[in-house]
Amino acid sequence: MSSELISSASQISKAEYQPRVSARQTIGRIWRWVFFGSTALAIVLLGMLLWSVIGPGWNWLSWGLITNPPSRFPEKAGMNPAIWGSIWIVLGSGVAAFIMGLGTAIYLEEYAEKGRFNDFIQTNISNLAGVPSIVYGLLGLVVFVDLMHMGRTLIAGVLTMALLILPVVVISSREAIRAVPPSLREASYGLGATKWQTVWNHVLPSAFPGILTGIILAMSRAIGETAPLLVVGGASQVLWRPDGPFSTFMVMPLQIYNWTGRPHEEFEHLAAAAIIVLMIILLLMNSVAIGLRQHFSRKARW
Amino acid sequence: MELLNIRLNRRSLAAITAGTIAVAPFARVFAQEENVITYEPGDGVSDLSGAFEADGSSTLGPLTEAAIEEFAAIAPNVRITNGISGTGGGFERFSKGETAISNASRPIKDSEAEACAAAGISWFKFDMAYDGITVVVSSENDFVSDLTVEELGNIWAADGGVTTWADVRAEWPAENIELYGPGTASGTFDYFNEAILGEREVRTDYTPSEDDNVLVQGVAGSKNALGYFGFSYYEENQDVLKAVAIDNGEGAVAPSIESISDGSYAPLGRTLYVYVNAEELQSRPEVAEFVEFYAATADEIAPSVGYIALHAEAQQETYDHVLGAIDGSIAPDSDSFGQEDATPAA
């Protein structure tokens, strides 16, 4: 059946062939505008979002917002403990996920034998990346907070967030390692290098820009994530920046959530200002990601 | 230190022009409230240190957070965290010993008291402020001004048979009522159902939200909507909401600071409590100092976060109760809750 179709398609006679140049060009133009429209829609929506946040929040931006602890008086309320909490959560979970995620990726790509078991693990990791974040929060609540008796502390938050971003880190690290050309490995083996020497001296340096981009994008996700920390952190007012792994903590999205729920309208403006601060920090993180990637890819030796 | 001295001479504060930002908000509170109890931080309060947690009602949360904020100025090394897991969620943590203080917008339930007793936790219960659950309609609604408890019950009961305003009172329009209310984890939800519905089942076809601002917007946006939440959310949104006066059989009473504090706004006027772990209160000076501070200053802090202060007599009662609880001359309230297996902390 299929072979008939192919043969008949290839035997279009000259009589049947019609150039229809203007029709094809019109169709081409229509698609061009469809694609432009979808891009424009995304940009317009982003613009509206930014406008609705910057409008009410701009006048509430101040140093006090960054340096003060929260307060019931909006004019002197700040999010200093939340900023520090977010920094610790993001750095801590980034480091933990980097170590575990990169290790997993190296094992799966370089050491594990390709086969059913490997496919099984790969499918599961991909599935984990799609699990709703609140599920990680509940997991963290049961395992870290209750079973391991960590309580609602910074360390429990860090480990929960590390689990949340781990699948993304594993997947992006694997992609980066897989993108390293096999000829590089073969050349290394050809010179008598062991597997470890090949991975350490050639594969990892070449894959590093991609790995780094993946981990920083994962950390960007962690900084905006609210649901798991609502369960694991739970506090609504923390006046102090965390001073150790077992101290209570607050993060920026939680602080924003808390302010939007208050009866006084000023707190909604304050929340908008806090969103601006959060977005600036996100932009900075993403710029660092791009900068680092360019820095390391210039060093690539192939 | 400057702040401390000013705090000690509160009554003369009105005469002092508050110069610092830290003091200015206080001055506003003092000016409108004649406070009953003078809290004087004793020697060594600023040297107290330690960390403990409060959790519970999101209604009472802002008041406890305000007290923590002010206490932090006197005792900077005492780190108190407040959570808003809801009254029920707060008691769950309280009964596991995770929190020293539980904020509650309704009294503790039998099951919760049993859980505390089973874990060997005895507790004290202190009244801190009043709140009036306020039933609201949109300010565009021009026909509803008051409801009887029975009418309100029919609106919210599963078996009330009410779908339109005309089902409530014949002269009202036959438009569908849109209902907004707090979620099931909320103490406000429990309290409202008990006060208005009693044994009747609550209907489930309403729009629930744990975020009171969502309720405010929902009700304000529709002429046919009705909802309820704490008084402070009504007070802040009076331009778009209209409070419904409630008739308890003795004439309709609208919620106001006066009617809630003198008890005439019934049955939706309520007391907000904090429950304190007796052992923590008696064994940890920082917990005792904070609870004493909270009880002494709640009346000054309350108006600044939209709550109604206890009247002078009740305030004094709470304060005496706290002092007795700290020095152990009063037995924990859990003892008299009717649990034979409750173990009092020595």
Q: What is the 3-state secondary structure (H, E, C) of B197-259?
A: HCCCCECCCCEECCCHHHHHHHHHCCCCEEEEECHHHHHHCCCCEEECEEECCCCEECCCHHH
The reply to whether A163 and A35 lie within a common domain is no
| The pLDDT of residue B12 | 38
Greater pLDDT, B42 or B238: B238
Q: Does A52 touch chain B (CB under 8 A)?
A: no
Q: What CATH homologous superfamily does B134-267 map to?
A: Periplasmic binding protein-like II (3.40.190.10)
In-domain check, residue A4: no
Q: Check pLDDT > 50 for residue B23.
A: no
In-domain check, residue A6: no
The reply to whether A38 and A115 lie within a common domain is no
The reply to whether A143 and A271 lie within a common domain is yes
Q: Check pLDDT > 70 for residue B24.
A: no
Judge: A263–B72 Cβ closer than 8 Å, yes or no. Answer: no
What is the domain count for chain A?
2
| Residue B176 CB partners (closer than 8 Å, separation 6+) | B163, B164, B224
Judge: A73–B304 Cβ closer than 8 Å, yes or no. Answer: yes
| The pLDDT of residue A275 | 93
Encode B319-331: b = buried (16+ Cβ within 10 Å), e = exposed.
bebbbebbeeebb
Q: Could you give the CA distance from residue B162 to residue B178 in angstroms, rounded to a whole number?
A: 11
| The pLDDT of residue A242 | 87
| The pLDDT of residue B5 | 39
| The pLDDT of residue B26 | 41
The reply to whether A98 and A179 lie within a common domain is yes
The residue among A236, A251, A255, A270 with the most chain B CBs within 10 A of its CB, best to mutate, is A236
Greater pLDDT, B242 or B30: B242
Q: Could you give the CA distance from residue B310 to residue B271 in angstroms, rounded to a whole number?
A: 9
Judge: B304–A72 Cβ closer than 8 Å, yes or no. Answer: yes
Judge: A236–B82 Cβ closer than 8 Å, yes or no. Answer: yes
Nearest residue of chain B to residue A145 (CA atoms): B98
Digit-coded pLDDT (tens) for B302-318 = 888 878 889 888 889 99
Q: Check pLDDT > 70 for residue B346.
A: no
Nearest residue of chain A to residue B306 (CA atoms): A263
Q: Which domain holds residue A46?
A: 19-60
One digit per residue, the tens of pLDDT, for chain A of length 302 reads: 455 555 555 566 666 778 888 999 999 999 999 999 999 999 999 999 999 889 888 888 999 999 999 988 888 899 999 999 999 999 999 999 999 999 999 999 999 888 888 889 889 999 998 899 999 999 999 999 989 988 888 999 999 999 999 999 999 999 999 999 999 999 999 999 999 999 999 999 989 988 988 998 899 889 988 889 988 886 788 888 888 888 889 999 999 988 888 877 888 899 999 999 999 998 998 888 888 888 887 765 55
The reply to whether A73 and A152 lie within a common domain is yes
Q: Does B25 touch chain A (CB under 8 A)?
A: yes
Residues of A whose CB is below 8 A from B85: 234
| The pLDDT of residue B22 | 40
Q: Check pLDDT > 90 for residue B80.
A: yes
| Residue A236 CB partners (closer than 8 Å, separation 6+) | A254, A258, B58, B61, B65, B82, B83, B84
The reply to whether A107 and A165 lie within a common domain is yes
Percent of all residues in chain B with a pLDDT value above 90, rounded to a whole number: 55
Q: Check pLDDT > 60 for residue B3.
A: no
pLDDT band at B15 (very low <50, low <70, confident <90, very high): very low
In-domain check, residue A1: no
Nearest residue of chain A to residue B80 (CA atoms): A238
Nearest residue of chain B to residue A149 (CA atoms): B98
Closest Cα of chain B to A236: distance in Å?
A: 5
| The pLDDT of residue B118 | 93
Output the pTM of the full model.
0.77
Average pLDDT value for residue range B185-204 = 89
Q: Which of residues 200-259 of A touch B (CB under 8 A)?
A: 234-240, 247-248, 258
In-domain check, residue A280: yes
Percent of all residues in chain B with a pLDDT value above 70, rounded to a whole number: 87
The reply to whether A145 and A121 lie within a common domain is yes
Pairs of CB atoms within 8 A across A/B: 73
Q: What is the CATH number of the domain that holds A142?
A: 1.10.3720.10
| Residue A172 CB partners (closer than 8 Å, separation 6+) | A210, A211, A213, A214, A215, A217, A218
Average pLDDT value for residue range B140-156 = 93
Q: At what angle do helices A80-106 and A204-224 cross, to 10 degrees?
A: 140
In-domain check, residue A31: yes
Going by C-alpha positions, the residue among B212, B98, B116, B202 that lies closest to residue B157 is B202
| Residue A278 CB partners (closer than 8 Å, separation 6+) | A223, A224, A252, A253, A256
Nearest residue of chain A to residue B209 (CA atoms): A261
Going by C-alpha positions, the residue among B265, B320, B246, B275 that lies closest to residue B106 is B275
Digit-coded pLDDT (tens) for B29-76 = 443 445 567 787 777 888 888 889 999 988 888 899 999 999 998 998
Instruction: Give yes or no for a contact between B296 and B160, defined as CB atoms under 8 angstroms apart.
Output: no
The reply to whether A144 and A69 lie within a common domain is yes
Q: Check pLDDT > 70 for residue B251.
A: yes
Residues of chain B with CATH 3.40.190.10: 33-130+272-337, 134-267
The reply to whether A70 and A35 lie within a common domain is no
Terminal Cα-to-Cα distance of chain B (whole angstroms): 36
The mean predicted confidence, pLDDT, of chain B is 84
Q: Check pLDDT > 70 for residue B149.
A: yes
Instruction: Give yes or no for a contact between B339 and B114, defined as CB atoms under 8 angstroms apart.
Output: yes
Q: Does B56 touch chain A (CB under 8 A)?
A: no
Sign for the CA dihedral angle at A261, A262, A265, A271 comes to: negative
| The pLDDT of residue A293 | 81
ipTM above 0.95, yes or no: no
| The pLDDT of residue A29 | 95
- Closest partner residue to B82 (CB to CB) among A152, A235, A260 is A235
CATH topology of domain B33-130+272-337: D-Maltodextrin-Binding Protein; domain 2 (3.40.190)
Going by C-alpha positions, the residue among B125, B89, B107, B103 that lies closest to residue B335 is B125
Nearest residue of chain A to residue B54 (CA atoms): A235
The reply to whether A45 and A117 lie within a common domain is no
Q: Does B84 touch chain A (CB under 8 A)?
A: yes
Q: Does B70 touch chain A (CB under 8 A)?
A: no
The reply to whether A37 and A130 lie within a common domain is no
The reply to whether A72 and A179 lie within a common domain is yes
